């Protein structure tokens, strides 16, 4: 039998401001033990966390920040060690009832190593980019291959797996899940609301940088797990490099080739739009989002190339920030 004394929470953030206050307030109401790990905030986040009773861990500024490093630091600061840990990002609010449901699932199913739920956007109508994040979070319940950073994990398993890989700047959550799954554990998503997220992506440049970071994640994690993001990497090369190159060649020499390339893009756009409509979007919103999803292959490719360039030159894998 488990109860809330068996679990502690690790929240991470940097300059989250009011979003962090909302996050920690949602945890404070539950009476949970909370560690907040700060990655060099210059706003009032640290004082807000102290005022809300969280244990504070400030990361060393001389070492590059990563979400993985922050989560690991929070976990190791938990003393005494709990049986389970809930990880949450500082721009998220925990939903009522989630902790009890997650604990019950892990207690009833000892073969499940990680349990997660549904994340939703607080303000999906604030921008097309927030709306895209809302669609991104809609995933089927049941056994899954991986999940995002909001997750409940068995503490013994986390220690055994050496936690998140601190060198990975994005996709560290899915890389950790991949190792857990390969070790024979189940990862399960409950059909329950877990967190509400404030993406706060209001500008095109923010969305672009986020897509670059995603491409970097595909490249970096695939060096450890070659199967990771295989389809996405191929699509980035095809739609971000090969087809644009053929289009330029066609415009200069063979107009028919340009027509073929444009037809391929049009077909891809139509399939994407139809898929979004099937997932519940209105035709108007689906058409808008499909444009950006088609364009996203270019920043994804830039992220792939950024990782390759850094790797070849032995550069540090520093964060690609979009907020």
Domains of the chain: 4-202 (3.90.550.10), 205-312 (no CATH)
- DSSP lists the bridge partners of residue 118 as 193
Q: What pLDDT, on a 0 to 100 scale, did the predictor assign at position 181?
A: 97
CB distance 210 to 201 below 8 Å: yes
CA distance 174 to 91: 19
Q: What pLDDT, on a 0 to 100 scale, did the predictor assign at position 310?
A: 93
SS (H, E, C) 197-230: ECCCCCCHHHHHHHHHHHHHHHHHHHCCCCCCCH
CA distance 189 to 32: 22
Closest CA to 207 of 118, 296, 284: 296
For 31-52, the DSSP string reads: T-EEEEEESS--SSHHHHHHHT
Closest CA to 30 of 83, 82, 99, 93: 99
**Structure token pair of residue 30:** 């539950």
Q: What pLDDT, on a 0 to 100 scale, did the predictor assign at position 218?
A: 96
Q: What pLDDT, on a 0 to 100 scale, did the predictor assign at position 4?
A: 67
- Using DSSP, state whether 55 is helix, strand or coil: strand
Nearby residues of 135 by Cβ (< 8 Å), 6 or more positions away: 276, 279, 281, 289
CB distance 129 to 201 below 8 Å: yes
pTM: 0.91
Contacts of the segment 255-263: beta carbons below 8 A, 24+ positions apart? none
Whether the bond between 110 and the residue before it is cis, its omega within 30 degrees of 0, is: no
Closest CA to 307 of 216, 191, 200: 216
Q: What is the pLDDT along the chain (323 residues), one digit of tens a residue?
A: 456 678 999 999 999 989 999 999 999 888 889 999 998 889 989 999 999 999 999 988 888 889 999 999 999 999 888 999 999 999 999 999 999 999 999 999 999 999 999 999 999 999 999 999 999 998 999 999 999 999 999 999 999 999 999 999 999 999 999 999 999 999 999 999 999 999 999 999 999 999 999 999 999 999 999 999 999 999 999 999 999 999 999 998 899 999 999 999 999 999 999 999 998 999 999 999 999 999 999 999 999 999 999 999 888 778 777 77
CB distance 226 to 205 below 8 Å: no
CB distance 72 to 8 below 8 Å: no
Strand (E) or helix (H) holding 84: strand 84-89
Nearby residues of 318 by Cβ (< 8 Å), 6 or more positions away: 64, 169
Q: What pLDDT, on a 0 to 100 scale, did the predictor assign at position 3?
A: 62
Neighbours of 216 (CB within 10 A): 27
CB distance 277 to 289 below 8 Å: no
Closest CA to 166 of 307, 66, 60, 37: 66
Nearby residues of 156 by Cβ (< 8 Å), 6 or more positions away: 83
């Amino acid at each position: 039998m488990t109860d809330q004394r068996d679990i502690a929470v690790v929240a991470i953030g940097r300059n989250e401001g009011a979003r962090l206050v909302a996050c920690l307030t949602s945890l404070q109401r539950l009476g949970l033990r909370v560690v907040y790990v700060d990655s060099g905030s210059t706003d009032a986040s640290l004082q807000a966390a102290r005022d809300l009773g969280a244990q504070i861990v400030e990361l060393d500024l001389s070492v590059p920040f990563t979400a993985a490093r922050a989560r690991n630091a929070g976990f190791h600061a938990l003393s005494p060690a709990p049986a389970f840990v809930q990880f949450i990002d500082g721009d998220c609010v925990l939903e009522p009832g989630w902790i009890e449901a997650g604990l019950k699932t892990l207690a009833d199913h000892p073969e499940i190593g990680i349990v997660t739920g549904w994340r939703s956007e607080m303000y999906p109508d604030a921008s097309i980019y927030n709306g895209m994040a809302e669609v991104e979070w809609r995933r089927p319940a049941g056994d899954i291959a991986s999940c995002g950073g909001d997750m409940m994990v068995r503490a013994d398993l986390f220690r055994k797996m050496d936690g998140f890989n601190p060198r990975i700047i994005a996709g560290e959550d899915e890389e950790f899940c991949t190792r857990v799954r390969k070790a024979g554990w189940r990862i399960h998503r409950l059909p329950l609301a877990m967190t509400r997220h404030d993406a706060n992506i209001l500008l095109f440049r923010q969305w672009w940088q986020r897509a670059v970071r995603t491409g970097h994640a595909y490249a970096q994690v695939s060096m450890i797990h070659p199967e990771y993001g295989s389809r996405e990497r191929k699509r980035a090369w095809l739609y971000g490099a090969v087809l644009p190159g053929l289009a330029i060649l066609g415009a200069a020499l063979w107009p028919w080739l340009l027509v073929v390339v444009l037809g391929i893009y049009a077909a891809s756009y139509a399939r994407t739009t139809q898929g979004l409509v099937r997932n519940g979007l209105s035709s108007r919103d689906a058409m808008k989002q499909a444009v950006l999803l088609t364009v996203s292959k270019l920043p994804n490719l830039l992220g792939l190339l950024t990782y390759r360039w850094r790797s070849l030159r032995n550069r540090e894998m520093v964060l690609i920030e979009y907020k």
